[in-house]
Chains A and B, each alone.
Chain A
Amino acid sequence: MTTPENMTPDRPGPAPVDLTWTANPGGPVSQWIDNHARQLFIMPAVLMILVFSIFPLVASLIIAFSRIRLRGGGYQVRFVGWKNFEKQIFGSEQFHFLGTFTQMSVVGWMVGLSVTGLILWWMYKYVTTQFTVVGFIGRLITASVTIAIAFMFAATFFSGNPFGTLGVTLFYVFVGCGVQFLIGLGLAFLCSQQIRGRNFFRVAFFIPMMITPIGVGYVFRMLADTTKGPFTPLWQGLGLKDFAWATDPWAARVFIVIGDSWQWIPFVFIILLAAFENVPRDYVEAAEMDGAGSWQIFREITWPQVLPVAVTVMLIRVIEAFKIVDLPNIMTSGGPGIATESMSLHSFFAWRALDLGQSAAIAYLLLFVTVVICVSFFNLIVLNRMRQND
């Protein structure tokens, strides 16, 4: 606590400024300020978050439950309850968001029921060993979403039906991030070794991340063109002259994942490289002295040191990947049909047509799926692992 006494300089010098009005412990204003100093200091940051983060979040939530029309004089907002969400999950847009549901195949039933069985067994194990109310609720949400997604794929992909933008997004997230992690990890490990020209490779591997995603989209669209692109002779040589990747749903999705991976492997690479280089040399040297092999050193010393960074980088990457929009927009415009349309692109197309309610509803559905998957990943895998290490 500052007082007039301890603010007075002991040594001779310039005349002290009269601060008594601010420091008067008896004044009601200064008393109030003093009592609320913490709140006042934190206020600017809180206001910034409220204005730039919370307000848009609340506003978009309101939009998600409304139909909006722009007219002379401003917006015309009509509250429609859950209608925008209903349309996506049960209504005319179900095929677009979840997929086309017809008869479920035997394989579909097997997949759906197997996943359900595994999840129920996992829940049973949890309830009988380490039950807490909060943990149970969290796991219940994770289990419900996992079973729902499993049945969605069972009824679409495993039953010969096209899946919707949710399935496409999950494909980009899990396949794309998986590829990016494995290649990024491998490259980072290689560049952390004492190999010739490693500085060159470090820069070369990092460049793609600095290119705008729109540029990447156009470049890959051109590279993958089998009739006019620079690799046309190669495609022709492989007998693919008349093959059009963009007209085949799986080929188009794979090409988008390749483009996305090309751009984002450097992100995984650069962070994991830093992690590899931070592994204490003396640990490794000690292991070598003890006669450990390369694989043993990697598994027992390097990997545990790198793991926390790897988990963090993948969490960031997964969150980013859920929002993929540029590449499918540029490379295929979501086609053929809706085969490469991600949820973000789905939301963007609705927004572009001024269907703001649908656009916001899709954005919230995306937020829900992202939060459930990322929180589940962090709580159930990362924290569990950390607890085990402790």
Chain B
Amino acid sequence: MKTTFKSLLTGAMAAAMMTGASTATAGEFDGVTVNILTRPGPVIAGRLVDRGKEFTEMTGAEIRVNEVPFAEIFQKLLTDWATGTNSIDVGVFASGWAVELVDGGLVENLDPYIAKDDKINFDDIAPYFREFNQKIGGSTYLITVDGDFQMLYYRRDILEKIGMEPPATWDDYMKVAEAMHGMDMNGDGEADYGSCIFKKRNAQSYFAIGSIAAGFSQTQGTGEGLWFDPETMKPKINNAAWAEAFRVYKDTGKFAPADELNQDIGDTRALVQAGRCGLVIDWGDIGPLSIDEAGAAIKDKMGAVIMPGSPMVLDADSNTLVQCDATRCPHATNGVNHAPYAAFGGWAGAINQKSDQKVKDAAYAFLSYVNQAEQSNVDVTMGWTGYNPYRNSQLNDTTKWIEAGFSPEFADNYLGAIKDSLNHPNMASDVRIPGAQQYTGVVLDRELARFLAGEITAEQALANIEEGWEEITEDFDRESQAQMYKLSLGITN
């Protein structure tokens, strides 16, 4: 396996050098140093370091990758840029966080750079990432290095054994999870789990609930917005759709490890790789992780499918869940409304507007180099990089995936599920407005944790979230928040 990775890497490097994959030329950035801030490696940061070395050889620019804990990236970056410290030239972070930075006038508009870049091939980037994730107010401020949205993974072998189909709805999910729960799925003689979804507080649970709620709540396409009414900024959370999502999320715990409330994504992935989970919600990483050495127990045994949806969706007027029909759910498949959620939105690079022009040029050239198909199409096949697909060329050709260790069957299945999600017109966008972390990472996360712990009911949690969100909106100014939210949804009127 290692040989395969190495040969792929060497091949990619050679190809990049030969074709001059970057817009930069040899020695163009001699003496220039680009400081990047991102999360600790090897995930995300590790590949930036590797690509940085190649870039230094090609252009002379030194790429320094500074790593800080995930929860502190945004705070450190905003402080550095807003106070004029400017020790960081590039932030590689969740694309949703950029809105606040752009709003503060801290991020370089990349349109002029892209216009001169003949290598980046933006049309190859999947529509959601190109038009929503990288853009704010119609201009591109971010270069994607990782495409993030959640999918449902299942144990293909176990499903075949019990004669069931991959879940299309959350009712199906419960039935399949119940059927799988208690089976020995890895041959170690121990009973394993029907469902694994991280539920730890201050971790990733607020992403999982978004994935569940979206199918009940958002029906009219990405522009509808999952979180707020774009006109009034009134939260669209204290309703029957989210209440049902809260209950579903909690109920999945019946078929899960006993300590799931204290498990974050690292814990659930370890269980998945050990072959102990029948159904899993995760980002695109499970595919590459299943061909990793640590994933020997699940190699060629996983399947992926678009996130389950619901045949019953929210009727806002009556605040009840009603049956889908052609008007109510225009994007439904077999009467089931799916809304794959671009949780986190993916890791993307933004450039400090206050950096020297030469540094900004080098920074853009580097981000472009990482993003270009020649590099990224290899990087997304390696689990450890944390990079998930975001370009059509990464999905249309299974060759590199098979070379990386996927079986042709799983490569087709995995890429098919990604395509179904990425090109879905009803993809749900993450919160991409100032204060995003307070809305979801603090208020939603805390109330969800209290509900899961049995402290409060779903209705109490949702009422608290609504109140908390209204306070944040008032604090940031309702009108400007509404404007930013509309822009994040591509509404420009």
A279 to B271, CA, bound (A): 56
| Interface contact A338-B446, CB-CB below 8 Å | yes
Using CB atoms, name the residue of chain B closest to A349. B442
Out of B105, B202, B438, which one reaches A354, CB within 8 Å?
B438
Using CB atoms, name the residue of chain B closest to A78. B475
Using Cβ atoms and an 8 Å threshold, which residues of chain B touch A75? Answer: 82-83
Using CB atoms, name the residue of chain B closest to A355. B438
Using Cβ atoms and an 8 Å threshold, which residues of chain B touch A354? Answer: 74-75, 78, 437-438
A71 to B354, CA, bound (A): 13
| Interface contact B105-A71, CB-CB below 8 Å | yes
Using Cβ atoms and an 8 Å threshold, which residues of chain B touch A237? Answer: none
Question: Does B383 sit within 8 A of A, measured CB to CB?
Answer: no
A140 to B81, CA, bound (A): 48
Using Cβ atoms and an 8 Å threshold, which residues of chain B touch A70? Answer: 78-79, 82-83, 104
| Interface contact B261-A246, CB-CB below 8 Å | yes
Report whether over half of chain B's contact residues are helix, strand or loop; otherwise say mixed.
helix
Using Cβ atoms and an 8 Å threshold, which residues of chain A touch B104? Answer: 70-72
Using Cβ atoms and an 8 Å threshold, which residues of chain B touch A72? Answer: 81-82, 104-106, 353
Write the A41-84 contact mask toward B (1 if CB under 8 angstroms, else 0): 00000000000000000000000000101111111000000000
A332 to B264, CA, bound (A): 10
Question: Does B468 sit within 8 A of A, measured CB to CB?
Answer: yes
| Interface contact A353-B441, CB-CB below 8 Å | yes
Using Cβ atoms and an 8 Å threshold, which residues of chain A touch B225? Answer: none
Using CB atoms, name the residue of chain A closest to B354. A72
Out of B258, B353, B449, which one reaches A227, CB within 8 Å?
B258
| Interface contact B468-A92, CB-CB below 8 Å | yes
Question: Does A139 sit within 8 A of B, measured CB to CB?
Answer: no
Distance of A233 from chain B, by nearest CB (Å): 13
Write the B217-255 contact mask toward A (1 if CB under 8 angstroms, else 0): 000000000000000000000000000000000000000
- Beta-carbon contacts under 8 Å, A308-339 to B: 332-339
Question: Does A369 sit within 8 A of B, measured CB to CB?
Answer: no
| Interface contact A333-B258, CB-CB below 8 Å | no
Write the A206-243 contact mask toward B (1 if CB under 8 angstroms, else 0): 00000000000000000001110000000000000111
A336 to B81, CA, bound (A): 35
A380 to B332, CA, bound (A): 71
Using Cβ atoms and an 8 Å threshold, which residues of chain A touch B79? Answer: 70
Question: Does A244 sit within 8 A of B, measured CB to CB?
Answer: yes
Using Cβ atoms and an 8 Å threshold, which residues of chain A touch B103? Answer: 71
Question: Does A387 sit within 8 A of B, measured CB to CB?
Answer: no
Out of A71, A227, A334, A352, which one reaches B201, CB within 8 Å?
A334
Out of B84, B261, B441, which one reaches A247, CB within 8 Å?
B261
Surface stretch bound by A, among B17-25, B115-123, B450-458: B450-458
Interface centre among A74, A95, A353, A354 (most CB of B within 10 A): A353
A254 to B276, CA, bound (A): 29
Out of B71, B201, B455, which one reaches A162, CB within 8 Å?
B455
**When A72-B104, A73-B82, A333-B200 are in contact, do A243 and B258 touch as well, CB less than 8 Å?**
yes
Out of B72, B105, B259, B453, which one reaches A226, CB within 8 Å?
B259
Distance of A89 from chain B, by nearest CB (Å): 15
Using Cβ atoms and an 8 Å threshold, which residues of chain B touch A95? Answer: 464
Question: Does A372 sit within 8 A of B, measured CB to CB?
Answer: no
Distance of A141 from chain B, by nearest CB (Å): 31
| Interface contact B82-A335, CB-CB below 8 Å | no
Distance of B203 from chain A, by nearest CB (Å): 7
**When A338-B446, A355-B442 are in contact, do A247 and B201 touch as well, CB less than 8 Å?**
no
Residues of B in contact, count (CB < 8 Å) = 44
Report whether over half of chain A's contact residues are helix, strand or loop; otherwise say mixed.
loop
- Beta-carbon contacts under 8 Å, B103-130 to A: 103-106
| Interface contact A247-B471, CB-CB below 8 Å | no
| Interface contact B455-A247, CB-CB below 8 Å | no
A247 to B430, CA, bound (A): 28
Question: Does A249 sit within 8 A of B, measured CB to CB?
Answer: yes
Distance of B76 from chain A, by nearest CB (Å): 10
- Beta-carbon contacts under 8 Å, B440-480 to A: 441-442, 446, 449-456, 464, 467-468, 471, 475-476
Out of A69, A71, A337, which one reaches B449, CB within 8 Å?
A337
| Interface contact B453-A335, CB-CB below 8 Å | yes
| Interface contact A353-B201, CB-CB below 8 Å | no
24 A-B interface contacts by CB (under 8 A)? A67-B475, A71-B103, A71-B104, A73-B84, A74-B83, A75-B83, A92-B467, A225-B259, A227-B257, A241-B258, A244-B257, A244-B261, A247-B260, A332-B201, A332-B262, A333-B200, A333-B202, A336-B262, A336-B454, A337-B450, A337-B452, A338-B455, A339-B453, A354-B78
Q: Which residues of B contact A (CB under 8 A)?
A: 71-72, 74-75, 78-79, 81-84, 103-106, 200-203, 257-262, 353, 437-438, 441-442, 446, 449-456, 464, 467-468, 471, 475-476
| Known contacts A70-B104, A72-B353, A246-B261, then 12 further A-B pairs from the complex at CB < 8 Å, ordered by chain A residue | A70-B78, A71-B82, A74-B84, A247-B258, A247-B261, A247-B453, A336-B201, A336-B449, A337-B201, A337-B446, A352-B437, A353-B437
Q: Which residues of A contact B (CB under 8 A)?
A: 67, 69-75, 87, 92, 95-96, 100, 162, 225-227, 241-247, 249, 332-339, 349-355
